[in-house]
Amino acid sequence: MRLRFIGKDEKSGNTGSPTVFLDVETEKPGFAFQGLRLSEAEEAKVREAGPMPDHETVVWMPVHMIKAIREACDEAERSGLL
């Protein structure tokens, strides 16, 4: 992984979460999201909505992080990662 910091939630204070990163690795580019870990009950609801392999996880991010997510997508396009 070669992570490029995109942005963090300005409302989070010193905790630094949630955060959006762009992985600029040329072999396997992608995104990394740091967010709140779901409770067991919340994760169960995700699994009810569709299968989730045991090696995967889901994190929750507030909707106002859309700006940072869009910025990460735009940066991926500008960098030619698509």
CB neighbourhood size of 50 (10 A): 6
How far apart, in whole angstroms, are the C-alpha atoms of residue 57 and residue 22?
18
Dump pLDDT digits (tens) for 12-69.
877 778 999 999 987 889 999 999 889 999 999 999 999 999 899 899 999 999 999 9
Domain count, the chain: 1
- What is the domain extent for residue 33? 3-78
**Residue 17: what pLDDT?**
80
Q: What is the pTM of this model?
A: 0.83
Strands 36-37 and 30-34: unpaired
Confidence band (pLDDT; 50, 70, 90) for 82?
confident
Cα 6 from chain centroid (whole Å): 11
Look at residues 37, 39, 38, 30 and name the one whose alpha carbon lies nearest to residue 69.
Answer: 30
Strands 19-23 and 30-34: antiparallel
